[in-house]
């Protein structure tokens, strides 16, 4: 069960953090994987690790907040692999700032990357999935997309948008046998939040709010993503899966 043999996956934000962990978990379960972000050096390292699992890999540079860049990246992936069975929208930026002090540019940057980026990638990849009447899309949202977290209004709004987009897309595409689900992580230790987790004041406060009293390890997200990508999840669509060390149970 949960094998991804003969599946081709595209993971945005696959150069590091949660996207890297998901890309490697997919390769371990037999998928060929394309990874994309703006940093080719990181992508090449992940592609090498995918090939070490005996799978095909592709590293493609792309800025997900730019629709032309996304269209080109998806075309490059299709030229190499012929189709995309699984899309993981993991590229994202995090930024904590009170809304009253936030500039237009910061708000735009967060929404453009997290929400528009997901929109652009879904749109480009969906066309082929609709033609083939098959596919699985996994959008990486956040606990902050449902909870009110001080400082994360723009980020939370972008992730709430991702959750609603996920549900509506799922409803639009059941007829094409395309499943669309979201994973909403709590705190995981990645570059995105290492600084705040290591901050002597903020770090312990965050950990205290997590029932498991620790941040997640990126390796702990791969299994859920593999499940949602696999044929074992054939009856699962429009769902939001929290993975938060108990934070969402409180």
Q: Which residue has the tokens 């390292």?
A: 45
Q: Give the shortest CB-45-to-ligand NAP separation in angstroms.
A: 11
Q: How far is the CB of 154 from ligand NAP (least distance, A)?
A: 12
Q: Which two tokens stand for residue 31?
A: 């998928």
Q: How far is the CB of 231 from ligand NAP (least distance, A)?
A: 25
Note whether 88 binds ligand NAP by CB under 6 A: no
**With binding defined as CB under 6 A, does residue 90 bind ligand NAP?**
yes
C-alpha to C-alpha distance for 184 and 224, rounded to whole angstroms: 11
Torsion angle in degrees (nearest 10) through CA of 8, 163, 25, 179: -40
Assess whether 155 carries a catalytic annotation: yes
Residue 113 in contact with ligand NAP, rule: CB under 6 A: yes
- Distance of alpha carbon 90 from alpha carbon 102, whole angstroms: 24
For the chain, how are helix, strand and coil distributed in percent, rounded to 5? 50, 15, 30
Q: Map tokens 């692999």 to a residue.
A: 81
Is 64 among the residues that bind ligand NAP (CB under 6 A)? yes
Q: Does 222 bind ligand NAP (CB under 6 A)?
A: no
Contact assessment for residue 10 and residue 125, using Cβ atoms and an 8 Å cutoff = yes
Count of residues of this chain found to bind ligand NAP when the rule CB under 6 A is applied? 29
118 forms part of the interface with ligand NAP (CB under 6 A): no
Closer Cβ to ligand NAP, 51 or 189, answer by number: 189
Strand order in the sheet with 8-12: 57-61, 32-37, 8-12, 86-89, 135-140, 178-185, 240-243
Q: Which stretch binds ligand NAP (CB under 6 A): 1-9, 172-180, 189-197, 232-240?
A: 189-197
Spatial separation of the C-alpha atoms in residues 232 and 240, rounded to whole Å: 17
136 contacts ligand NAP (rule: CB under 6 A): no
Structure tokens at 118: 């997901």
Query: Exactly one of 188, 226, 245, 247 binds ligand NAP (CB under 6 A); which one?
Result: 188
Examine residue 156 and tell whether it contacts ligand NAP (CB under 6 A).
Answer: no
Which residue is catalytic, options 120, 155, 187, 241? 155
The answer to the question of residue 17 lying near ligand NAP (CB under 6 A) is yes
What is residue 216's DSSP assignment? B
**What residues are labeled active site?**
155
Residues of this chain that interact with ligand NAP (CB under 6 A) are 12-13, 15-19, 37-39, 62-65, 90-94, 113, 140, 142, 185, 187-188, 190-193
């Amino acid at each position: 069960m949960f094998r991804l043999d003969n599946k081709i996956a595209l993971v945005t934000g696959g150069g590091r953090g949660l996207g890297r962990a998901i890309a490697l978990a997919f390769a371990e379960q037999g998928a060929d994987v394309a990874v994309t972000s703006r940093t080719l050096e990181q992508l090449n390292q992940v592609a090498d690790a995918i090939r070490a699992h005996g799978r095909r890999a592709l590293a493609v540079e792309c800025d997900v907040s730019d629709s032309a860049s996304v269209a080109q990246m998806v075309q490059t992936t299709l030229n190499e692999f012929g189709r995309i069975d699984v899309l993981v929208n993991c590229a994202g930026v995090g930024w904590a700032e009170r809304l009253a002090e936030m500039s237009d540019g910061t708000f735009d940057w967060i929404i453009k990357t997290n929400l528009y980026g997901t929109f652009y990638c879904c749109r480009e990849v969906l066309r082929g999935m609709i033609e083939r009447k098959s596919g699985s899309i996994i959008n990486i949202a956040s606990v902050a997309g449902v909870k009110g977290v001080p400082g994360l209004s723009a980020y939370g709004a972008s992730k709430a948008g991702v959750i609603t987009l996920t549900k509506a897309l799922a409803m639009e595409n059941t007829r094409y046998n395309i499943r669309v689900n979201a994973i909403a992580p709590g705190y995981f230790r990645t570059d995105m939040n290492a600084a705040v987790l290591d901050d002597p004041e903020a770090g312990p406060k965050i950990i205290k709010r997590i029932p498991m009293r620790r941040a997640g390890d990126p390796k702990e997200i791969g299994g859920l993503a593999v499940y949602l990508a696999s044929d074992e999840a054939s009856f699962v669509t429009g769902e939001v899966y929290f993975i938060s060390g108990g934070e969402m149970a409180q």
